[in-house]
Chains A and B, each alone.
Chain A
Amino acid sequence: MNEAITADRGMRVAKKKKDRYIWRLVYDIKNHKMVYCMLLPVILYYLIFHYVPMYGAIIAFQNYNPADGILGSQWVGLANFIEFFGSRIFSRVLVNTLRISLTTLIFSFPAPIILALLLNELKNKIFTRTTQTITYLPHFISLVVICGMIKDFTTEDGIITQICALLGMAPQNMLNNPNLFVPIYVVSDIWQGIGWGSIVYLAALTGIDQSLYEAARIDGAGKFRQVWNITLPGIVPTIIVMLILRMGSLLSVGYEKIILLYNPLTYEVADVISSYVYRRGLEDFAWSFSTAVGLFNSVINGILIFGTNMISRKINNTSIW
């Protein structure tokens, strides 16, 4: 009896809540027509260019033929997925993708945070700004140029090879060595993105209450203590949000950089899902097949982003939604 009453009350509360939400929305629209009108183009943009095209993903379950169109093509069910999971290359591209992605996550995700913390401690403004500008620069160089530079620097008599040779490594064309591919990829990734990535953290750092530092100093905390107990906790929400977003692209290693850097000698470690999709989809015209692989990729990414978000909400109440 009691249970039933509670349940009933709960439902009523829920219903009331829902009513209230809709009512609130209607009320809000009535009162802020202008604001909602300005929102309209954005909503339409997402609907037309991001949601409507999604129906094209059904070609993943078809043997798509442009002449028959999306609705007329032959339905093959999961055949494209089965072909992908069963292919010789599947385990290789999946492992490579995860290896490159996780290494990037471990090394290149914290890099901008460290840079931001270091810059934050600098007192000389001119030096800080110069450093910032210099670290931003690689972000604005085209990827093709970046990869051209990497290739030049890592040839047998390239500058980076020479430096490594001074440190005791045998001089070699570094991009031909499968063991060096991931390090080259990750280090260049850090170099390219560290400055740009630190902007968001620098912004978060300005929001920390200065009086906390003052109090800490009076309590006798050193620089390191201050960073550990005030600065870092201050930017943790930002870090978590960035991490959740980053998790959403764990399975998507961009194919451009891979394709520009790999060669037959490094296929075994460098071939990732996206470069495979590129080869099959754009070079062999296997549209349905590459759509299926892309869809698989998106689903996993979706699960990862929801999962991380949920864990983070449970553990420390920080989440994107």
Chain B
Amino acid sequence: MMNWKKVVLSVISIGTAACVCTACGLVPKKKNTATNGEDMVISIWRQGGTPVAGYENDENKPGYAELASTLKEELGVTLKYTTPTAGQEQQQFNLLLASRDLPDIVSFWWYDVPGGPQKAINDGYIYPMDESFLKENAPNFLQLLKENPVYEKGCKTDKGDYFIFPKFFDYKGEQAINLYTNGYMMREDWLQELGLEIPETIEDWHTVLTAFKEKKGAKAPLTGTQLTRGFEGAFGFRADFYHDDNVVKYGYYEDGYRDYLTTLNQWYNEGLLDKNIANMDSKMVNAQMLSGESGAFWGWLGSGMGTLMKAAPDEKYSLMGVPAPASDKGNKPEYNEVANPVYGSGAIINGKSKHPELAAKVLDFGYSQKGHMLANFGVEGEAYQMEDGYPKYTNKIMQNEEGLSMTDALTVYTGKIATTGAFREDYRYIQQYYNLPQQQEAQKAWMNGNGINHLMPTVSYTEEENSEKSKIMSEVKNYVEEMNMKFITGVEPLSNFDNFRAELKNLGIERAIELTQKAYDRYLTR
């Protein structure tokens, strides 16, 4: 009778003890037996991206296998990956910081790390590098920096330390297409049917949208998830922080913002703007664009145009990218939407790493000729063929027989050390990725503008500046977002615009601009 009780008792006690011990980390973890003495192991923490069915393990991906064997051959290094759970990257990154036990390489949004990159260096999270270190251990990376001052400035702190191996975009001339992947799109067939020109100015847009409403029966001619993007250029400012000839400005604090609101409010009242504009998501936008409820929208090339063209209801249905409106006819759009050539994320070497040199060599591989091709195109003969010096994806990528989408096929067949860092994204990849003629035309349309001259680069703040600015901006952002919608929908009359400006001033916007200006000045002298 007592026996089963004893069994239960011991099971519970042992179970509890085990739980407690593991919870407190009392049980020493087993040493990783994979280290066999000769090979060095470099541990990497990086975002995994969307897993591909059948290829969840890195080892099964041909691209990754090639990367691993090349690194082993050339550097005698084995990579050991940790991948955060998809969707919880930010939380797990925060935990990683709190644990103070980072792997050798961590790839994440380091530019936005709380307190800024300089603080992360001071705290010992990031290993700062000087030029001689890079010359020795990352020559390919250094060469790329020296050839492209824009890249170099983006990888340095104000003190002059190199700290990150980011993802770069091609940005010169025609190659800059990587930077233009979102903007306004319109029903091309409607334009042709109504005999309208591609709109250039705000007045043109008004004509086109009115025609869409009256002649095509569109209930909400203009829609989108982020309405304000791109339009403000015609009114002489850009949303958020930007600079005019190195003078930092905050768009919503500029005079042009009043005219902008007046126009959009008028459009809203005329029924040219979607009445549901305040709570649209991309699914709803796509649905409206397909059903003909809307004729123009702001969106992305892939999830917007690509998805819509695939789902097109009939053969006539066609979309085109239209440039952001300019202030006057014949002018180039001054503030068109453009991405930064230095992506916001990248790989850093842990400040406490035992092998910073080796880690730098591993990361440098991504910028070498071999690593560059592997990261962008995969293995030659398998994922791409050279045709007249142009790496052309094979059908394994373009029309995968296993049924993988192009995005998934690229994940499987290319080999990157980290998906969000330590390589340069080739424009020839984008050229083939957005392969619809409409998509390529759209990029050309969006590229035509001076937006890149006003772009705010990744500046960095001191610890005090950072906490002061983020305190101000957390209130300002929320307030602007709220008032913007209220002015457009007319809930708040435009006569209150001066009060809005006064409140912004009250919240400290001028101080925030001043801080940004300081940081930008330091960036310029890097």
Contact = CB atoms under 8 A, between A and B. Distances in A.
Contacts of A284: 470, 474
A176 B279 contact: yes
A38 B474 CA distance: 49
Contacts of B482: 264-265, 267-268
B276 interface: yes
A287 to B, nearest CB: 8
A304 B85 CA distance: 38
A117 B93 CA distance: 50
A7 B9 CA distance: 47
Contacts of A175: 278-279
Given A41-B12, A66-B98, A173 B279 contact: yes
Interface in B104-134: 114-115, 120, 123-125
A227 B507 CA distance: 58
A263 B481 CA distance: 9
Contacts of A38: 8, 12
Interface string A153-179: 001100000000000000011011000
Given A66-B98, A173-B276, A265-B486, A279 B13 contact: no
Interface in A47-93: 48, 65-69, 83, 87-89
Contact of B491 (A40, A89, A265, A279): A265
Nearest to A175: B279
A67 B489 contact: no
A65 B123 contact: yes
Contact of B489 (A66, A89, A176): A176
Contact of B97 (A67, A156, A280): A67
B276 A88 contact: no
A67 B124 contact: yes
Given A264-B484, A265-B491, A267-B482, A34 B279 contact: no
Nearest to B279: A263
Given A48-B20, A265-B486, A265-B491, A67 B100 contact: yes
A263 B474 contact: no
B302 interface: no
B370 to A, nearest CB: 37
For the residues of B in contact with A, the DSSP-based class is helix
Contact of A37 (B13, B485, B486): B13
A41 B114 CA distance: 38
A246 interface: no
Interface in A256-296: 263-265, 267-268, 279-280, 282, 284-287
B126 to A, nearest CB: 11
Contacts of A156: 275-276
Interface residues of A, number: 36
B313 interface: no
Contact of B486 (A44, A69, A264): A264
Contacts of B483: 264
A155 B288 CA distance: 13
A151 interface: yes
B9 A263 contact: no
User: How extensive is the interface on chain B, given as a class?
Assistant: 35 or more
B95 to A, nearest CB: 9
A268 B484 CA distance: 13
A291 to B, nearest CB: 13
B10 to A, nearest CB: 9
A168 B125 CA distance: 62
Contacts of A89: 475, 478
Contact of B9 (A34, A67, A264, A280): A34
Given A67-B97, A173-B275, A284-B474, A41 B485 contact: no
Given A66-B94, A265-B278, A279 B9 contact: no
B110 to A, nearest CB: 13
A166 B90 CA distance: 47
Contacts of A83: 471
Contact of A279 (B90, B123, B276, B478): B478
Nearest to A283: B474
B199 to A, nearest CB: 26
A65 B97 CA distance: 10
B219 to A, nearest CB: 9
A65 B481 CA distance: 29
Nearest to A267: B482
A151 B276 CA distance: 10
B16 interface: yes
A72 B76 CA distance: 39
A44 B23 CA distance: 11
Contacts of B23: 48
A218 to B, nearest CB: 52
Contacts of A33: 9
A282 B491 CA distance: 30
Given A88-B507, A264-B486, A69 B100 contact: yes
Max chain A C-beta neighbours (<10 A), residue from B24, B97, B100, B482: B482
B49 interface: no
Given A37-B13, A286-B474, A67 B279 contact: no
A65 B115 contact: yes
A66 B20 CA distance: 25
Most buried by B among A66, A151, A172, A286: A66
B470 A87 contact: no
Interface string B464-481: 000000110011001001
B486 A286 contact: no
Contacts of B278: 173, 175-176, 263-265
Interface string A284-321: 11110000000000000000000000000000000000
A88 B100 contact: no
Given A34-B9, A65-B123, A67-B125, A264 B481 contact: yes
13 contacts: A34-B8, A40-B13, A44-B19, A48-B20, A66-B94, A67-B123, A156-B275, A156-B276, A175-B279, A176-B275, A280-B474, A285-B114, A287-B114
Going nearest first, the 10 A-B pairs with the smallest beta carbon separation are: A67-B123, A285-B114, A264-B485, A263-B278, A66-B98, A66-B97, A263-B279, A267-B482, A264-B482, A264-B481
